[in-house]
Amino acid sequence: MKRLDVLLRGNLRQYVMIIALVVVIIFFQIITGGILLSPLNISNIIQQNAYILILATGMLLCILTCGNIDLSVGSVAGFIGAISAVFILKMNMPVFPAILISLLIGVLIGVWHGFWIAYVGVPAFITTLAGMLIFRGLTMVILQGTSLAPFPKSYTFIAAGFIPDISNIEGINLLSILAGIIASILYILYELKDRASKKRYNFEVSSSGAFSAKIVSIVAVINAFTYALARYKGIPAVLIIVVSLVLIYSFITTKTIPGRHIYAYGGNPKAAKLSGVKTKKVLFWVYVNMGFLAALAGIIFTGRLNSATPKAGNGFELDAIASCFIGGASTTGGIGTVVGAIVGGLLMGVLNNGMSIMGVSIDWQQAIKGVVLLAAVAFDVYSKSKSWAI
């Protein structure tokens, strides 16, 4: 019982946010008369929010390193979208190499930021504020103030396309159902392996009842989700990207040495350095990674819009930062998870989507999101101050 207590205290915020997400979903599901979770709308929510989720993943790593944030991601995303448009529409480059080069440019932008932040010591806030201005300006320069459109189908596919089905059954997508089943099996195998390994070390494991209940409920959620997708057009291409990124980054942050170094650096840079963590390297690579993810988000957003515009990506950085903090990241660094940031991003995405269906205007949506952010962080501060008193 004690361990549950310790576990809950550490992750309380994240559980609360998951519960909040479920509550918000149920609320809008009822209020919109079932439109929110309709197969069409689920695909919509995914495609609408993919780029924010991708940015939030990268942003979380920045925030983990002592609460540094990257203000430039919106501008960088817009810039990369514009560059890829110039490559494809003006220079007639084939789509695949154009995307590859655009992503590489994103990485170089990350190197640029990382260099100033990690090796010169310019505060991240300033460096990325400068980056925000630089790349917004450059976006306008290369687009010469106009929009570039339309893109070839192969470009927009990543953002708006669906993975083609393997059979032709009317009204149901077999691949999606199959993906659900495979994901369930992989998940069950992972859990069993983890449990076996814990037993090998003679650690306490949860009772087999609780264990099966957890597995059954998660498998049910996975399959309900893929079934809903199956009833529309199947698996959105962008979902594959988002899910893989979440899995990869969760794995890196929680299970690998570089991940540990990021958390250690965020928890106490001095102590991390004296424990042999190459702190400058950590900071540098976090920003290189952010550049890459910002570029990816830029290509996806441009593909979804099917046009590269000078204003693309405006304010993305704030949504990404808000996702992380709603999802339990600490403003001083060292605390936060990728899954938390994704939950935070989804919470905002569902709020947006639900309010849009209800016909709430964009202005109000913005204001309500602000209140949610404040409430989430205030709750965190409050619960922490209570736990310190004990």
Query: Which residue in the set 123, 152, 258, 370 belongs to the binding site for other proteins (CB under 8 A)?
Result: 258
Which is closer to other proteins, CB of 273 or CB of 304?
A: 273
Site stretch for other proteins (CB under 8 A), options 51-59, 157-165, 192-200, 303-311: 192-200
In 10 A of CB 166, how many CB atoms?
Answer: 11
Residue 198 found at the interface with other proteins (CB under 8 A)? yes
Q: Is residue 268 a contact point for other proteins (CB under 8 A)?
A: yes
User: What residues contact 29, with CB distance under 8 A and at least 6 apart?
Assistant: 36, 37
Residue 247 · residue 58 · CB < 8 Å: no
Cβ atoms within 10 Å of 32's Cβ, excluding its own:
18
Rule CB under 8 A: which of 317-356 touch other proteins? 334-335
Residue 264 within binding range of other proteins, rule CB under 8 A? yes
Q: Is residue 111 classed exposed, middle or buried when 0-12, 13-18 and 19+ CB atoms within 10 A define those classes?
A: middle
Task: Provide the 3-class DSSP secondary structure of residue 157.
Answer: helix
d(C-alpha 271, C-alpha 264), whole Å: 8
- Alpha-carbon distance of 6 to 204, in angstroms, equals 14
Distance, CA of 248 to chain centre: 12
Options 193, 214, 278, 311; binder of other proteins; rule CB under 8 A: 278
Give the x/- contact pattern for other proteins in 205-244, rule: CB under 8 A.
----------------------------------------
One residue of 45, 88, 109, 277 binding other proteins per CB under 8 A: 277
Q: Which one among 256, 366, 378, 382 touches other proteins, defined by CB under 8 A?
A: 256
Provide, rounded to whole angstroms, the least separation between the CB of residue 255 and other proteins: 5
Q: How far is the CB of 385 from other proteins (least distance, A)?
A: 15
275 binds other proteins (CB under 8 A): yes
Candidates 85-93, 232-240, 252-260, 316-324: pick the segment binding other proteins (CB under 8 A): 252-260
Lookup result for tokens 């501060």? 381
Closest distance of CB 68 from other proteins, Å? 16
CB of 195 to other proteins, least distance (A): 11
Beta-carbon contacts of 275 under 8 Å, excluding residues fewer than 6 positions away, are 264
Q: Give phi and psi for 123, each to the nearest 5.
A: -55, 145
- Taking the C-alpha atoms of residue 145 and residue 159, their distance in angstroms, rounded to an integer, is 24
Contacting positions for other proteins (CB under 8 A): 2-3, 6, 197-198, 200-201, 203, 255-261, 263-264, 267-268, 270-278, 334-335, 390
